[in-house]
Amino acid sequence: MRNLGFATAFTLVVFACSSAPQSEPETDVGALTDTELAKSALKIMGAPQVRSATAPPSCGFTGCHSINPLTLNQWNDQYKAAVAFLGGAASTAEKVNFFRQNPADDRTGFTPERIGIMAAGAHLALGANVDATRHPETFKQGKMLADLFQGQDDLYANFRGEMLMPVLPQFSRLSAVEYETILTWFKKGMPQLNEIIRENRPTECNDDFDGLRAHASEVKGANWTAQNKSNGLVMLGCDPGMTSPTQCLANQRDGKDVFPKGADTAFAKGWAIEGSTVRVLRELKWPNSFWMRSSADGRFVATGGGQSGGAQAIDLQATLDGVSRNIGLSASYDPDFWPDNKAFMFQGGTKFCAQSLLEKPATTQVTFGEPECSSLNSAAGLYQTVGQTLGDNSIGDRFILYSIWAGDSGQYSAAARDTVPRAGADAGINVFVAVAKGNDVTDGYQVKGPGIKLDTPYQGDTMMARSGKIIGSRVAGEHGALGYSIQKLNPTVSGGSYRFNLGDLGKVCMKGNKANISFDERFLVTHHYNEPADYDATDDPAYHDKGSSDVYMADFVTGKKVKITKMGPGQFALYPHFRSDGWLYFLVVDHSNGKYYVTASDWAVRQVEANPTP
């Protein structure tokens, strides 16, 4: 989710949504009492407890952040850890690389997750509006960063660009006095925070699969797996005569597997467990940037990053044909593909294109100005998830959902832990509906009406099932994630306009990060950064020094929750997601050798064959 190199990019951690007009006279921050300081800082950040009812909209409800003690304490911890490291004995290069998505790989971009609240003022630097007397803390930060990047002007400009916030253009960046207010409050330990923002977070999770099992059965013949099969969608690496999807991706060239089994390689020998097969689809030549997503047929894999530092789409059909085909995209991050296999989108401008553009052999770069592309800017947000109405034509209504989120740029050490969910009492989702402009997807889509907002207190990181019928959210408890809440997203259509309401469907109590739901709406998948307690006594002691992350799956029909991969020490499985037939794609970052792999598992396919959906 980050532009990796040469152009200004957008940040992952969207922070301050300034509500104060920039022309207001400056406040003497040092003269404020603790209570005045706390209320001023929280007002600037958009906390509903101190905002006026007539104040400009806060970005919290539309998919950026929720201002609450859990979130703010996390940003404070990140900030303090960064200050401690930057004040230590590490080399200048090590300190600069500390800011990167992967500190061990200087090809990766900078991410605000490394520095928390500090990123909110990185754009100010030592500019003309920063005064050492009136903004002492802001000035100190600007000088520290300027000294760190001394003699590296281009790199420093790139750093500030990638820390730029907020991303969404409707919100102003912080002024020097606004950031001074917030930073001063943080450095004082955020006094009065818990007195001003009082919460009643959930404290426990109990598995509830009954409604999930019933839903999987109810939609057995009316989901995107069934729809695409009925429409004759050809899956990558599958021949028409195959009797099982497990036979897919076994294509050979010159007597060797094009997509080798992990078990047949030295580096991936133990990745597949529980009788499943893991195949290595592609070694990436350049680091990816944040999450990875693939087209419904599994042909295209898209990520941020790539050779040009923007974004990339990899054509795995070309790999089958013995060629390497990488398509550059002028975007930043957050790829997603619609379930009908006819369209895709990227963030960094909410860019929508017909998938046929990627299928053209002549396409080597997508600028998003092509005739196959249109803008959905009025549905702007971050960390989108998409769905689409089931239908027999290519112009079904499309949904884009945003929620409160916690960014996960990938962690690659033994200290890695699942992201702390940030949803507070004011959390919600925002659903946009896009409708076709013409009779074919190439005619483009346009957003119809404003986003439809629904309250989801203490639930965030929401992902939508491909049909748009259900959503899965992480539950933010007192000390971290409690598991996943699955809800029905019930639509009502009147006069062409949508309304939605939510209904509880079930709970899955399982560790992990953002979840993804299978096309048949039977499985929930996530990745989990393994903790010391996750390792067995017989495991390699190197796990405790190098860390790892694995893919975890929940089966709504059987109620089974299981780890489906076994990464080696220093290997991290990330961002799992499904293609239409049930094969699961995920990224592997091998921290020991600096390599990045696109991989696939047939675990879910085997579960359906062993225990068919009733």
What percentage of the chain has pLDDT greater than the value 70?
92
Which has the closest alpha carbon to 295: 377, 234, 362? 234
SS3 237: coil
338: its two tokens: 């619609």
* Per-residue confidence (pLDDT) for residue 383, from 0 to 100: 83
Give the 3-state secondary structure of 90-141. CCHHHHHHHCECCCCCCCCCECHHHCHHHHHHCCCCCCCCCCCCCCHHHHHH
Is 197 within 8 Å of 69 (Cβ atoms)?
yes
* Per-residue confidence (pLDDT) for residue 170, from 0 to 100: 62
What's the CATH number of domain 210-610, 2.120.10, 3.40.50, 2.170.130, 1.10.1060?
2.120.10
* Per-residue confidence (pLDDT) for residue 15, from 0 to 100: 40
Which has the closest alpha carbon to 318: 281, 357, 292, 268? 281
Q: Answer whether residue 582 shows pLDDT above 90.
A: yes
Please, where are the H alpha helices in 117-239?
Answer: 136-148, 153-163, 176-187, 193-196, 210-218, 224-230
Please, where are the H alpha helices in 523-573?
Answer: 543-546
Q: What is the rounded CA–CA span in Å between residue 599 and residue 145? A: 38
* Per-residue confidence (pLDDT) for residue 222, from 0 to 100: 96
* Per-residue confidence (pLDDT) for residue 349, from 0 to 100: 61
Query: In the chain, what are the domain boundaries?
Result: 29-196, 210-610
Question: Which pTM value belongs to this model?
Answer: 0.90
The region, left, alpha or beta by phi > 0 then psi within -120 to 50, assigned to residue 378 is alpha
If one compares 464 and 350, the residue with the highest pLDDT of the two is 464
- What would the mean pLDDT of 355-374 be, rounded to a whole number? 95
- What would the mean pLDDT of 235-260 be, rounded to a whole number? 95
Give the 3-state secondary structure of 491-502. EEEECCEEEEEE
SS3 180: helix
529: its two tokens: 């950064």
* Per-residue confidence (pLDDT) for residue 489, from 0 to 100: 96
Strands (DSSP E) contained in 219-334 are 252-253, 256-257, 278-284, 288-294, 300-305, 311-315, 326-329
Mean pLDDT computed over every residue of the chain: 90
Task: For residue 477, give every residue at least 6 positions away whose Cβ sits within 8 Å of its Cβ, in sequence order, or none.
Answer: 201, 202, 203, 204, 205, 458
Task: For residue 240, give every residue at least 6 positions away whose Cβ sits within 8 Å of its Cβ, in sequence order, or none.
Answer: 234
* Per-residue confidence (pLDDT) for residue 566, from 0 to 100: 98
Q: What is the rounded CA–CA span in Å between residue 474 and residue 406? A: 10
CB atoms within 10 A of CB 138: 30
Angle, alpha carbons 519-521-523 (nearest 5°):
100
Is 275 within 8 Å of 338 (Cβ atoms)?
no
198-to-16, 305, 472 alpha-carbon distances in Å = 21, 40, 26
* Per-residue confidence (pLDDT) for residue 480, from 0 to 100: 86
- The string of pLDDT tens digits covering residues 370-415 is 999 998 988 877 788 999 999 767 788 999 999 988 888 888 889 9
- The string of pLDDT tens digits covering residues 137-181 is 999 999 999 999 999 999 999 899 888 776 666 667 889 999 999
257: its two tokens: 């597997």
Which has the closest alpha carbon to 162: 101, 82, 206, 215? 101
Task: For residue 29, give every residue at least 6 positions away whose Cβ sits within 8 Å of its Cβ, in sequence order, or none.
Answer: 37, 40, 177, 180, 181, 184
Amino acid at 271: W
Q: Tell me how many helices (H) and strands (E) the chain has.
A: 13, 28
- The string of pLDDT tens digits covering residues 65-77 is 789 999 899 999 9
68-to-47, 119, 168 alpha-carbon distances in Å = 8, 18, 21
- Mean pLDDT is lowest, of 281-295, 356-370, 460-474, for 281-295
pLDDT band at 12 (very low <50, low <70, confident <90, very high): very low
